[in-house]
A and B are shown apart, each in its own frame.
Chain A
Amino acid sequence: MTIKTTFMTAAIALAATPTLANDVVRISGWGGDNIVVVNSLINEVLDDDLKAAGITVEYEPVEGDFAQILTNALSAGTAPDAFYVDSFWAYPIFESGKIDPVPADNQDVADALLPALNQAFTYEGQLMGIAKDFNTLAVQYDMDIFDDAGVDYPDMDDDWHDFRTKLQQVQAELDDVYGICVVPDYARFAAFALATGWQPINDQGHTVLDDRFREAFEFYVTLPDENAGVLATDLGQGWTGGCFGNGDTAVAMEGAWMIGFLRDQAPNKYYSTVGIPKHPETGDRGNLVFTVAWGVAADSDVKDSAHKVVELLTSEKAQQWVLESGLALPSREALADNDFFNGDSTAAITSRVVFEGASDGQVEPFQFGEYGGEWKAIVDEALSAALLKERSIDEAIAHAQEQFDRLTGR
Chain B
Amino acid sequence: MNKSLAHKERIAGILFILPFCVSLFVFFVYALGRTFLFSLQSYDLFSAPVWNGLGNYLALVGDPLFILALKHSLAFSIVVTTLQTGLALLLAMAANKQVKGKGVFRTIYYFPSILSSAAMTLIFMWLFQRKGVLNQGLSWLSAHGGLLAVALGIFLAVQTLQFVLGRRRYDWVRWGDPFHLIVSLGVTAIATLVLAGLGVGVRDLAEPVTVTWLNTRETFGPLPRTIWAIVAMNTFTTVPTLMLLYLAGLQSIPDSLYEAARLEGASAWQQIRYITWPRLMPVSFTVVTLGIIGTLQMFDQVALLGDAAPLESKITLAYFTYHNAFPPGGTPRIGMASAGALVLALLTLVMVLIQRSVGVSETTND
Residues of A participating in the B interface, judged by any CB pair closer than 8 Å: 65, 67-68, 71-72, 74-75, 88-89, 91-92, 95-98, 184-185, 231, 233-236, 238, 367-368, 370-374, 376-377, 380-381, 384-385, 388, 390
Please give, as numbers and ranges, the residues of chain A lying within 8 Å of B47 by CB-CB distance.
96-97
Question: In chain B, what residue has the closest Cβ to A367?
Answer: B329
Known: A95-B46, A370-B331. 19 other contacts (CB 8 A): A65-B326, A71-B332, A72-B45, A75-B46, A88-B329, A98-B46, A234-B130, A236-B132, A370-B330, A373-B329, A374-B327, A374-B328, A374-B330, A376-B329, A377-B311, A377-B328, A381-B311, A388-B215, A390-B217
Q: How far is the CA of A184 from the CA of B215 in the complex (A)?
A: 10
Q: How far is the CA of A97 from the CA of B47 in the complex (A)?
A: 9
B70 → chain A closest CB, angstroms: 19
Q: What are 28 residue pairs bridging A and B, where the CB atoms are less than 8 Å apart in the complex?
A: A67-B326, A67-B328, A67-B329, A68-B326, A72-B45, A75-B46, A91-B330, A92-B330, A92-B331, A92-B332, A96-B331, A184-B215, A233-B130, A233-B212, A233-B215, A234-B131, A236-B129, A236-B131, A236-B132, A370-B330, A372-B331, A373-B328, A373-B329, A374-B329, A385-B217, A388-B216, A390-B216, A390-B218
Is B308 located at the chain interface by the 8 A CB criterion?
yes
Please give, as numbers and ranges, the residues of chain B lying within 8 Å of A231 by CB-CB distance.
130
Is B310 located at the chain interface by the 8 A CB criterion?
yes
What secondary structure prevails in chain B residues at the interface with A? loop
Contacting B46 at CB < 8 Å: which of A89, A97, A374, A380? A97
A384 near B310 with CB under 8 A, answer: yes
A372 near B215 with CB under 8 A, answer: no
* 7 A-B pairs with least C-beta separation: A373-B328, A372-B330, A372-B329, A96-B46, A75-B45, A92-B331, A373-B329
B98 → chain A closest CB, angstroms: 45
**Contact residues on B (Cβ < 8 Å of other chain), bracket:** 20 to 34
Q: How far is the CA of A380 from the CA of B311 in the complex (A)?
A: 11
Contacting B329 at CB < 8 Å: which of A97, A236, A368? A368
Please give, as numbers and ranges, the residues of chain A lying within 8 Å of B311 by CB-CB distance.
377, 381
Q: How far is the CA of A384 from the CA of B308 in the complex (A)?
A: 11
Q: A184-B215, A231-B130, A233-B130 are in contact. Are A238 and B307 (CB under 8 A)?
A: yes
A388 near B212 with CB under 8 A, answer: yes
Is B210 located at the chain interface by the 8 A CB criterion?
yes
Residues of B participating in the A interface, judged by any CB pair closer than 8 Å: 44-47, 126, 129-132, 210, 212, 215-218, 307-308, 310-312, 326-332
Q: How far is the CA of A238 from the CA of B130 in the complex (A)?
A: 12
Please give, as numbers and ranges, the residues of chain B lying within 8 Å of A390 by CB-CB distance.
216-218
A74 near B46 with CB under 8 A, answer: yes
Please give, as numbers and ranges, the residues of chain A lying within 8 Å of B126 by CB-CB distance.
236
B215 near A384 with CB under 8 A, answer: yes
B216 near A96 with CB under 8 A, answer: no
Q: How far is the CA of A371 from the CA of B330 in the complex (A)?
A: 6
Please give, as numbers and ranges, the residues of chain B lying within 8 Å of A96 by CB-CB distance.
44-47, 331
Please give, as numbers and ranges, the residues of chain A lying within 8 Å of B329 by CB-CB distance.
67, 88-89, 91-92, 367-368, 372-374, 376
A300 → chain B closest CB, angstroms: 16
Question: In chain A, what residue has the closest Cβ to B210?
Answer: A234
A377 → chain B closest CB, angstroms: 6
Q: How far is the CA of A147 from the CA of B45 in the complex (A)?
A: 56
Question: In chain A, what residue has the closest Cβ to B332?
Answer: A71
B363 → chain A closest CB, angstroms: 45
A71 near B131 with CB under 8 A, answer: no
B328 near A372 with CB under 8 A, answer: yes
Question: In chain B, what residue has the closest Cβ to A184?
Answer: B215
Please give, as numbers and ranges, the residues of chain B lying within 8 Å of A91 by CB-CB distance.
329-331
Contacting B328 at CB < 8 Å: which of A89, A95, A98, A384? A89
Q: How far is the CA of A283 from the CA of B186 in the complex (A)?
A: 70
Q: How far is the CA of A67 from the CA of B326 in the complex (A)?
A: 9
